[in-house]
Amino acid sequence: MTQKIPVTRFNSILARTPSRSITAGLRAVDMGDPSYEGVIAEHRAYVTALEAAGCTVTVLPALEDFPDSVFVEDPALVFTEGAIVLRPGAPTRRHEAGFMAPVLAEHFEMVLHLPGTGFADGGDILRTADKVMIGLSARTNAEGAEALQGCLKALGHASEIVTTPKGVLHFKSDCSLLAEDTVLSTARLAASGVFGDLRTLLVPEGEEEAANALRVNDVVLVGADFPRTIEMLMQAGYAVVPLATQEIRKVDAGLSCMSLRWFAA
């Protein structure tokens, strides 16, 4: 019998160099334009941390026509079994998927494309040990979520459509998987009951953005600006790697959205 690969175990990662146009990236709250030099420095540290965690990282070239293209997780999903090319919800990001599709074909034998006209962002997708959760949001609608369920079934994954809290950009803006049985979440998302029997650690009030952490093998990447969350995770026994995100956060970045991660068997 083939041993099941833990969902937090990865050895292969795709990332993309930030474009100079990222200073014009989308944002829900205007905190000013990010510094391109600052974004580049933060992105390099991010890639270095992924490599240190034991992964081979392929960094794709920048796409200057697409300010938000550094967020490679939104136009695609990847699994050991194959990849899915999505249709991002933001109109200015729709064509990013076309640039991602040939890259995925180089790494996966099976590459599916989201059918129909609905849209779905990878930032709304949380994989747990037994299913894939699809959060409805301003970037993922019901038609796209239902179409995605069909693609996931073809790859052998069960799925569930859930609701993202009002005013939250992506489902994973408010949560991340820490272990097979544990999620990190904001209080507002956990209160909805979407996580069922999963153990839930709540980020401290005022550090809601810290919920978008990233578990990669033996470490958890967390924004360095969230000291109480970092302390909580360390006390819970996790090896935490704090990363600077001061600039990239100005364009709605989270740690999960800047990479596509899978275990290449």
Judge contact between 87 and 118, C-beta under 8 A.
Answer: yes
228 is in an annotated binding site: no
pLDDT number for residue 31: 85
**Domain presence at residue 228:** no
- Predicted confidence (pLDDT) per residue in 16-52, tens digit: 999 999 999 988 788 899 999 999 999 999 999 999 9
- Predicted confidence (pLDDT) per residue in 161-189, tens digit: 999 988 898 999 999 999 999 999 999 99
Average pLDDT, the chain: 96
Specify whether 43 is catalytic.
no
**Domain presence at residue 148:** yes
Name the pLDDT band for 3 (thresholds 50, 70, 90). Answer: low
Query: What is the rounded CA–CA span in Å between residue 97 and residue 100?
Result: 5
26 is in an annotated binding site: yes
pLDDT number for residue 8: 97
Domain tally for the chain?
A: 1
Q: Check whether 148 has a pLDDT greater than 90.
A: yes
**Domain presence at residue 100:** yes
**Domain presence at residue 48:** yes
**Domain presence at residue 240:** no
7 is in an annotated binding site: no
Write the DSSP symbol of residue 183.
Answer: E
139 is in an annotated binding site: yes
- CATH code, domain carrying 126: 3.75.10.10
Q: Check whether 108 has a pLDDT greater than 50.
A: yes
Residue spans of beta strands (DSSP E) within 137-249 = 159-163, 175-179, 182-185, 199-202, 214-216, 219-223, 239-243
Query: What is the rounded CA–CA span in Å between residue 167 and residue 97?
Result: 25
- Phi/psi of residue 251, each to 5°? -120, 45
202 is in an annotated binding site: no
Across 229-251, average pLDDT: 97
Query: What is the rounded CA–CA span in Å between residue 31 and residue 246?
Result: 10
Across 62-75, average pLDDT: 97
Choice among 55, 151, 175, 257 that is catalytic: 257
**Domain presence at residue 6:** no
Per the structure, the complete domain to which residue 115 belongs is given by 12-166+245-262
pLDDT number for residue 28: 79
Specify whether 257 is catalytic.
yes
Both structure tokens of 109? 């034998």
Write the DSSP symbol of residue 161.
Answer: E
Choice among 43, 55, 151, 170 that is catalytic: 170
Q: Within a 10 A sphere around the Cβ of 109, how many other Cβ atoms?
A: 8
pLDDT number for residue 1: 37
**Domain presence at residue 180:** no
181 is in an annotated binding site: no
- Predicted confidence (pLDDT) per residue in 75-97, tens digit: 999 999 999 999 999 999 999 99
